[in-house]
Every structure is written in C-alpha cells, then in structure tokens.
Amino acid sequence: MKDIQIARIESVIVDLPTIRPHHLSMAVMRNQAMVIVRLFCSDGIEGIGEATTIGGLSYGDESPEGMKLTLDTYIAPLLQGKSALSVNAIMTLLKSHIKGNNFVKSAIETALLDAQGKRLGVSVATLLGGAVTQTLPVLWTLASGDTQKDIEEAHALLKNGRHNTFKLKIGRNDWKTDVRHVSAIKEAIGPDVKVTVDVNQAWSESIAKQAIALLQEAGIDLIEQPIIKTNFDGLARLTQYFKVPIMADEAAGTVSDAYKLAKIGGGSVFALKISKAGGLINIQKQAAIAQSAGISLYGGTMLEGTVGTVASAQVFSTLQLDWGTELFGPLLLTEDIVKTRLTYQNGGMEIPQGPGLGIALDMNQVEKFKRK
C-alpha cells in the first residue's frame, strides 16, 4: 500500500438537546456539547472521531471550546502531510508535541482507526485484535434528582426490556439524604435488579465509610469513585474494608493510574473510558494491567454521542467486561448527527458491524446543530 497522507483535519462543536436534565455531583447537564473531528486522507477516505466532556470545565481540565482550539491550532497543522497508515506513529508524535489533552488525542486516534478500517474493509474492533461479542450490556443512569421519578423511570424501562441494570448519580446532597434516596429506589425495584451508585468523588473518606456501610446493607451492588481521585490509598482502604465492590473511575484515568492503583489494590473494578485514557489502544493496555491484578472491568462513558459511543464499543467488544457498560449517551439525546441511530434492546446495545466504526455522519444534522 503506497503512503497515504493526512490531507487536513476539521473540527466542529455541536450542541445537542437532551431528554431531561442529567444530575451529577459536579454539574447538571441540560444539553451535550460534542467536538466532532473529521480527518481527511489523500486517498479520499474520511475518518471521524469525537471528544466530549461533561459540564464544560466542571468535570475535568478539558472543555469543548478548549478542545476545538487545541485541534485547530496545534494538532491539525502538526499532522497535515503525515502518513495516515500508522496509528502508533501518529500517537507517538502527538505524545511528544502535545502534553495532556487526552480527550482530543482519543478523538484523533478514533478518526485514524475509522479511516484505516474503511480502507481495509474491516471494523475497528478487528484492527484491535477482533471482537468477542457483537452486543454489549448497557445500564441506565437514573439521574433526575427526584426519587419517585427515578422509580417510575426504572419500572418503565424494566417493563419494556430496554435496561435491566441501573446506576444512581449521587453526591450533590447531604450524604444521608442520598443514602435514603438510593435505598428507597433499590427497595422499590427489588433485590433481583442490579443497582450501582456513582458518587463522582463527592465524599470524604470518613463520610464514605459511613455511607457505604448503609448502602451495602441496602443491597447496592457497586460503589463508584466515592472519594477524590487523588486519594489512591483511601480507595485501597475502602476496597479492603467493604464486601461491596469499589470501582475506580476518575482515579483510573490513564495507563499510569491503572498501574499505580493495581499495585495497592485501589479498587476491585476499573472503569475504562477512551477519552480519559487518550485512546482505544490505551484502553487495552489498562485492561491488561487490571486483569493481571485480578481487577474486574467496566465500560464507562463521558456521555458521548453516537460517534464516541461506538468508538468505545469497538474496543470494549474486544474485552471481557464483568460489569458491563454504561454506553447510553445517545439515548439521552433527542436528536442525533449520524445517519442511523444505534439499536438498544434486551438490556444491551448492538455494535455496528460495518468497516471502521460502522457509522456515518448526517451532515445536514451536523450543520443544524453546530455551534455558530
């Protein structure tokens, strides 16, 4: 195959409305802003990627506006004219010239893999070694902030079969209020339905001990990131203290984080997110570290739209995920920017099977929702 170059890279911010406000400990999401990357190659093939975060700068140190600026000002000129055929070479170049900025690096890697998959006529999962499944289990987050509404929403989803596992976002309220909220929902939907909670770092270690004890007693199945991400030792102490599994999410952001946590037993489950890790290939590295240490895996999300969700699904399909995924981001959106929306049913998501990511942008929708 003759050398094929990156001709140009374009990025656009799209703002998509959501079905309801989505409450997290650090923000209330009322719409989703996504940076869509289009990578054009000299052979006429286009690869797409997505960089998405939650609540502007309230979640992490990258924002949609900052990501677009980084892409347009630094990454696009750096990569123009470079070979599009070696993802590893491009990512090594980015690592040496661009510090941090894992979200935009993930979007670039996704676009490169999408283009190469299209070029070879195979899926991104095939490029990564091959899928072990064509569907992924997907939970649903109950995050309206209202106990009764969450109960009604859970019952409706159980009845229509779309989801059979639920996560509750807590941490904005007093911890005792949150525990009552969670316990009431768990009791209402029954012991046979798996319920997890995500605290998003909101508790101190001392409060976490009190709250997790009550949540464990209430039958909650998994506790996600109860304390600040930098307190690795505290996460290890909580993991050892409780029977209920403790999941490292924000703490397990990078390959380096995964290694440090695995050494001290900081979490019995790791949440994998392509944006935080800086790409799909790094997810496989994190997974290898976790599994060698006996730590289970969970497929996380930054509430990406369909492009980022499918990118995650492609790499997750190559792994054994004991705790499933939360790739429900597209279900939060009232509209989409792809030609064919994803299929969710029977508690899971069907992974597109076409070349590359297996999806295509609807440019009319992109134009409709792009930020002016």
- Per-residue model confidence (pLDDT) at position 30: 76
Residue with tokens 């895996």: 297
Quote the pTM value.
Answer: 0.94
Q: H or E segment at 41? A: strand 28-41
The answer to whether residues 112 and 124 touch, using CB atoms and an 8 Å cutoff, is no
Strand order in the sheet with 6-23: 6-23, 28-41, 46-52
44-64 pLDDT, tens digit each? 999 999 999 987 776 778 899
- Per-residue model confidence (pLDDT) at position 186: 97
- Quick check: helix, strand or coil at residue 168? strand
- Per-residue model confidence (pLDDT) at position 119: 97
The answer to whether residues 235 and 241 touch, using CB atoms and an 8 Å cutoff, is no
307-343 pLDDT, tens digit each? 999 999 999 999 999 999 999 999 999 999 999 999 9
- Per-residue model confidence (pLDDT) at position 1: 64
Catalytic residue IDs: 169
Return the half-sphere exposure (C-beta side, CA atoms, 13 A cut-off) of residue 82.
Answer: 19
* 3-state secondary structure labels for all residues of 107-155: HHHHHHHHHHHHHHCCEHHHHCCCCCCCEEEECEEECCCCHHHHHHHHH
- Low-confidence stretches of the chain (pLDDT beneath 70): 1, 22-27, 29, 58
Alpha carbon 152 to chain centroid distance?
Answer: 26
Bridge partners, 47 (sequence order): 39
- Per-residue model confidence (pLDDT) at position 56: 73
Q: H or E segment at 262? A: helix 255-264
Q: At residue 367, what are phi and psi to the nearest 5 degrees?
A: -65, -40
